[in-house]
Amino acid sequence: MNAFLIIVNVAVLLLLMVGLRIMAKKHVSFSKRVFTGLGLGLIFGFIIHLIYGTDSEVTMESIAWFNIVGSGYVKLLQMVVMPLVFVSIVGAFTKLKLTKNIGKISVLVIGILLGTTAISAAIGIGTSLGFGLDGIQLTEGAEEAARNAALEERVVTVESMTIPQQILEFFPANPFADLTGARPTSTIAVVIFAAFIGIAYLGVVRKDPEHAQLFAKIIDSLYAITMRIVTLILRLTPYGILAIITKVAATSNYDAIVKLGKFVIASYVALILVFIVHLLLLAIAKINPVNFVKKALPTLTFAFTSRSSAGTLPLTIKTQTKDLGVSEGIANFAGSFGLTIGQNGCAGVYPAMLAIMVAPAAGIDPLSPGFILSLILVVAISSFGVAGVGGGATFAALIVLSVMNLPVAIVGLLISVEPLIDMGRTALNVSGAITSGVLTSKATGEFDKEVYQQPNIVEA
């Protein structure tokens, strides 16, 4: 009987995918198909949850099959991340797009990411205090106890890493290993490696133009092929979102969400406030924030459902270059650095909120100006090296709580609502990276206003 029900569920998913395919053939816009997939996935997943429950065999086996589409899509995006970062940045040098402003671009991108992370921490602190969040009231069940036991080993690793050691992790001792994504900081390492190759190319241009020209043609060919792969994968976005959000809706622990509803609501209030800050920064730079929301929304939606900043990178770069008028070089720098530096949601809002919640348990007054300023500074500095995949917020929280000498057990106590909050955090991370790219492009004079003002999103 269970096998039959699983087959029925898979068949329904396939029928929904066929519906999305029909929409594509009728030339329905990409963004409308993305949101249709999101809506259908929410409804289908919630129905599965109501009929079978979260932990039933039918639900788990059905999700295992759905993962072929959802997780498979995310893996395809992750597959192309490193080649895309590498050829795009080297290509920016061969096309002479980064030669004059590379230092300024790097400083602006990192500065905006860190600055918005500090603001995010301040907003997280204010939201926690405003909602009166208190970590002492949280209870530990069997699942939470198991999570905290697993975190104890990770805490030892975190506490043993100094800030200089974290910075050293950026350097590509073995760039070929980093091209496989072997480390959390592999993306930044690949950026550095590609920048060295680009700088070396500029030297060869002066001394041996013939070889430099051949190299430039090879990079151009690799770039064209890589972008074609990206295009093919991005066309699968509506189907991927359908499967991913179906899984989320079917397996979410709604009882726990209700129980920790105050924390969930406070978290999303903080995340929304930081997003408004992004829009205000754009408005201050005389960039229309309405266009930003309209064009970035499909990418932010995918980040929300996938919970993977790294998996969203191809979409992040495409949105900046094709829809928002950011140059290729800046888009790649902003997208790549945004994966491991200054993630506004995972490394800004979340650790700050947890620190305020557990401060009273450590005998610290969370309203103390000295404590608040120290917390904002620690959050900003600690945001270096946070992995752009699901779980990066846990790592960031452990670093901040350890440095501030606060109890880390609260991280495990929130496991039941972690996936729900992580969706919003990831979307905010990507919004921060895109915002830094747009603002940097405007500041360096490489902003294409005509592309930004175009009313429609460029199709994949």
CB 436 within 8 A of CB 406: no
Percent of the chain exceeding pLDDT 90 equals: 35
Please report, in angstroms and rounded to a whole number, the separation of the first and last CA atoms in the chain: 41
| pLDDT value at residue 435 | 96
pLDDT interval class at 98 (50, 70, 90): low
Structure tokens at 158: 């975190």
CB 303 within 8 A of CB 426: yes
Tokens 């009882």 sit on residue: 255
Tokens 């795009």 sit on residue: 88
Mean pLDDT to the nearest integer, 319-327? 92
Q: What is the pTM of this model?
A: 0.82
How many Å apart are CA 214 and CA 208, to the nearest integer? Answer: 10
| pLDDT value at residue 192 | 86
How many Å apart are CA 376 and CA 11, to the nearest integer? Answer: 50
Residue 345, C-beta contacts closer than 8 angstroms, at least 6 positions apart: 120, 271, 274, 393, 424, 425, 426, 427, 428, 429, 432
Residue 140 has pLDDT above 80, yes or no: no
pLDDT interval class at 152 (50, 70, 90): low
Q: Exposure string (b/e) for 273-297, b if CB count within 10 Å is 16 or more?
A: bbbebbbebbeeeebebebbeebbb
| pLDDT value at residue 248 | 85
Residue type, 47: I
**SS3 of 188-199:** HHHHHHHHHHHH
Mean pLDDT to the nearest integer, 182-187? 75
Concatenated DSSP letters of 217-266? HHHHHHHHHHHHHHHHHHTTHHHHHHHHHHHHHHH--HHHHHHTHHHHHH
Mean pLDDT to the nearest integer, 185-191? 80
Q: Which of 113, 159, 175, 45 is nearest to 348 (CA)?
A: 113
Tokens 């140059």 sit on residue: 327
Greatest mean pLDDT among 19-33, 127-141, 379-393 lies in 19-33
Residue 99, C-beta contacts closer than 8 angstroms, at least 6 positions apart: 93, 202
Greatest mean pLDDT among 30-34, 92-96, 235-239 lies in 235-239
Structure tokens at 213: 């020209």
CB 397 within 8 A of CB 351: yes
How many Å apart are CA 381 and CA 225, to the nearest integer? Answer: 38
| pLDDT value at residue 353 | 93
Residue type, 138: L
Domain ranges of the chain: 2-453
Domain 2-453 has CATH 1.10.3860.10: yes
pLDDT interval class at 123 (50, 70, 90): very high
Residue 142 has pLDDT above 50, yes or no: no
Mean pLDDT to the nearest integer, 30-39? 87
